[in-house]
Copies of this chain bind each other. A is one copy, B any other.
Amino acid sequence: MINEAMYALGDEPSAIRELFAYGLKRKAEIGDDKVFDFSIGNPSVPAPAAVKEAILALMEEDPVTLHGYSPAAGDPQVKQVIADAISRKFGVTATPGQLYLTAGAAAGLAISIAALTHPGDEVLVISPYFPEYKTWIEAAGCTIVEVPAQVPSFQIDTEAVAAAITPKTSAVIVNSPNNPVGAVYTRENLEALATVLREAEERLGRPIYLISDEPYREITYGAEVPYVPAIYPRTLVCYSYSKALSLPGERIGYIYVSDAMPDARDVAVAVAGAGRALGYVCAPVLLQKAIARVVDVPSDVAAYAENRRLLTEGLAQLGYEFVQPDGAFYLWVRALEPDAQAFSERAKGFELLLVPSNSFGCEGWVRISYCVSADTIKGAMPAFKALKESYEQE
């Protein structure tokens, strides 16, 4: 009599985790340097030294205050620091009352979806997409509506979004820089999306919220990442420090309900209520306070930039087709046969662990996580060559 939907979620195989587990086993068999594991998005760059310094300094404070409960939405001083940083960085007026600190972007998304929807609503996602979106949308009793991105640019297909909106649409989730593709949505593309959403709001007489999932905002290679609330005011930004500061296991991020939104205060209240309903009490306080001290520390993207160069140059030379990544640390590569899963399986025979695109709601591609050592990329090139040749010899 346990909940069978929850059982199914707990029992569901994850292609990424299975590939990762296979990699660990395989490395034990033939040696770490013989297996080229591109499965997992765990940052390979260490957290900046300033994070360690902040935590060490905080540990000298009074432990009763340091480790005590913060208000549910976060420590007021920490929220002020983050709001100021948002205001400075994007030239807006962000107020602390519109911030709700979360245990990472996952919590932020689950909470935002619960706050903005009613059972039976539809939530649009741009495919390929991070697979847990489906879990959280369905947990809120809603239906996920997949809108394929344009191929091969993987920008939002705004006409397809317009066609997919119905009177049940309550929210659209975008993720730029994008996991799994590495695309960054251009200003023009986001402006076109905003126009579509505004027209739909007017036509349907109801708000449509934009949820901007931004854990990779700082991981870019020169491209502009436009500030979404300035383009579409009815935006909730779900941010995380997991990737920017290499703290994925610490679970610290925020929801920012844009001050520019007409119903800004009400939405912030609903976010706080959804946090309660989902069992969140406050984001981990030691990390909250550490973040306040490192809010302006830049992300270290040098290693990812070098990996990106090695990988794209190497694969281009071998004749692979891929999406030139503008952000995040993922490369989206065309599978050498239509069935991505079969391609990923064959790649395993060459000790290459590539996540098939089926995991992200589309066919025909694989995701390469290049948050690995440069040696893994260099070592993998002969395997990529042999993999390609195996298809050419058929």
Contact = CB atoms under 8 A, between A and B. Distances in A.
A247 B279 contact: no
A279 B7 contact: no
A156 interface: no
Copies per complex of this chain: 2
Interface in A127-149: 132, 135-136, 138-139
Contact of A46 (B62, B116, B139, B284): B62
Interface in A90-114: 103-104, 106-111, 114
Interface residues of A, number: 79
B5 A273 contact: yes
Contact of A2 (B43, B263, B287): B263
Nearest to A287: B284
B52 A55 contact: no
Interface string A1-33: 111011111111000000000000000000000
Contact of A278 (B42, B266, B279): B279
Contact of A1 (B170, B251, B268): B170
Contacts of A43: 64, 68
Contacts of A63: 46-47, 51-52, 246
A238 B383 CA distance: 48
A286 B103 contact: no
Contacts of A386: none
